[in-house]
Amino acid sequence: MSDTSSLETLIELAEGDRDSAAKLLGELRSARQKENSQLELLLQYREDYRSRFEAAMQRGITIAAMQNYQRFLASLDNAIKHQRNQLNHSDGRVQRGEDNWRQQQKKVNSYDALRSRRHQEANKRARRLEQQQNDEFASRASSALDGL
């Protein structure tokens, strides 16, 4: 297998790894957005429930009803705390996914740079060979004219 085809294989593999990392990153971002939406929904629900609790307090409620409101608000606060923790973990996963994608892209860029250098070197060798052939042709033509 030639160096060129080996390099092309490496590039294809690196591009596949990069594309897989990009797909995973998209999934991680989508999951993070869903978790953020759930947190916002919990916060809104808590605010609505707190408003109902305050309205009920102004109208007058029993101690048992007040305790039920307070227990439910505490339960919502725990759910919100849990969801914030989930969101923080999700942020970390997204960050690691971004780092992985950047690393994979850097690898692809390195291989592309190597391929470009090899193409430039091959073109340079071809131009030198062509120049040598032209010089040799000119030298033979000159020698042939001198012999006449």
pLDDT, tens digit, 9 for 90 and up, residues 13-30: 999 999 999 999 999 999
Rounded to whole angstroms, how far apart are CA atoms 143 and 145?
A: 5
Q: Is 1 helix (H, G, I), strand (E, B) or coil?
A: coil
Our count of domains for the chain comes to 1
Domain-located, residue 84: yes
Contact 101, 22 (CB under 8 A): yes
Rg (CA), the chain: 35
Q: Which residue has the tokens 């970390």?
A: 92
Q: Examine residue 131 and state whether it is found in any structural domain, yes or no.
A: no
CATH of the domain at 69: 1.10.287.1700
Mean pLDDT across the chain: 93
Q: Does residue 67 belong to any structural domain of this protein? A: yes
Residue 126 lies in a domain: no
d(CA 99, CA 112): 20
For 49, the domain range is 3-115
- Calculate the dihedral angle through the C-alpha atoms of 34, 35, 41, 42, rounding to the nearest 10 degrees: 160
Give the per-residue pLDDT at 2.
64
pLDDT (0 to 100) of residue 135: 87
Dump pLDDT digits (tens) for 108-139: 999 999 999 999 999 999 999 999 999 898 88
Per-residue pLDDT tens over the stretch 66-98: 999 999 999 999 999 999 999 999 999 999 999
pTM: 0.74
Distance separating alpha carbons of residues 53 and 68, to the nearest angstrom? 10
Residue 147 lies in a domain: no
Whether 125 is covered by a domain: the verdict is no
Is 123 part of a structural domain of the chain? no
pLDDT at 1 over 80: no
* In a domain? residue 121: no
